[in-house]
């Protein structure tokens, strides 16, 4: 809860600073397929210093994936259930690039909180858990003054058992 309060305060302070300097679009809202949301997520990304497109920042999101569960019925046989697992990625990142260029490169890490205790990447030995870790290595295109943005990259997931699972991500959004 404290983390959520701090994030809201940082976002509101950042939006106020952007309003004073409308020449730089330091905020990004995007939909991402793959990555820390596992199947799909909606995310907000911003820099801690709003007068720049580069440097340290954060991302907060909400997404989902589907998981196939097996259960034993009263008759003693297994039947498959498909359940939705909601994901809530939160992470820190650093954006590299030339100050006034639309293209940049992001490196980051964080945690995705899961709505149910599960093992998303089942290989027979993964423990069930409520969180997974992630890394991000993303190429980003976002106009300096705002507009349609694009991102693509490699986002390995650190599973509930600590194993690394390769994953990619692609996102489309709007910089403001």
- Inter-residue contact 37 to 59 (CB < 8 Å): no
Residue 165 domain boundaries = 2-175
- Could you tell me the end-to-end alpha-carbon distance of the chain, in angstroms, rounded to an integer? 27
Separation CA 119–CA 56 (nearest Å) = 31
Q: Look at residue 32 and tell me whether its pLDDT is greater than 50.
A: yes
Mean pLDDT of 82-106: 93
Per the structure, the count of domains in the chain is 1
What is the distance between the alpha carbons of residues 70 and 28, in angstroms, rounded to a whole number?
Answer: 39
Q: What is the pLDDT of residues 14-25, one digit of tens each?
A: 444 444 445 688
CB 107 within 8 A of CB 60: no
pTM of the model: 0.78
3-class state of residue 137 by DSSP: strand
pLDDT digits over 95-148, tens only? 999 988 999 999 999 999 999 888 776 655 567 788 999 999 999 999 988 899
**CATH number of 106's domain:** 2.40.160.20
DSSP secondary structure string for all residues of 39-80: TEEEEEEEESSTT-SSEEEEEEEEEEEEEEEEEE-TTS-EEE
Q: Please state, rounded to an integer, the average pLDDT across all residues of the chain.
A: 83
In the predicted model, is pLDDT for residue 159 greater than 80? yes
Share of the chain above pLDDT 90, in %: 55
Determine the pLDDT at residue 75: 62
Query: Between the CA of residue 8 and those of 5, 29, 137, 161, what are the distances in Å?
Result: 5, 15, 25, 31
pLDDT computed for residue 9 by the predictor:
47
């Amino acid at each position: 809860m404290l983390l959520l309060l701090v994030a809201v305060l940082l976002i509101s302070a950042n939006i106020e600073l952007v309003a004073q300097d409308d020449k730089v679009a330091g905020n990004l809202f995007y939909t991402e397929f793959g990555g820390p949301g596992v199947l799909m997520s909606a995310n907000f990304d911003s820099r801690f210093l709003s007068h720049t497109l580069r440097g340290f920042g954060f991302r907060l999101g909400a997404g989902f994936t589907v998981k196939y569960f097996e259960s034993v019925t009263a008759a003693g046989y297994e039947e498959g259930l498909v359940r939705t697992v909601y994901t809530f990625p939160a992470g820190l990142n650093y954006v590299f690039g030339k100050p006034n260029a639309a293209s940049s490169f992001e490196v980051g890490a964080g945690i995705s909180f899961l709505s149910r205790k599960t093992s998303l990447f089942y290989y027979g030995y993964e423990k069930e858990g409520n969180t997974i870790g992630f890394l991000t290595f993303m190429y980003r295109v976002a106009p300096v003054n705002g507009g349609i943005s694009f991102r693509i990259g490699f986002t390995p997931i650190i599973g509930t058992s600590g194993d690394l699972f390769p994953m990619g991500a692609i996102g489309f959004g709007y910089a403001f």
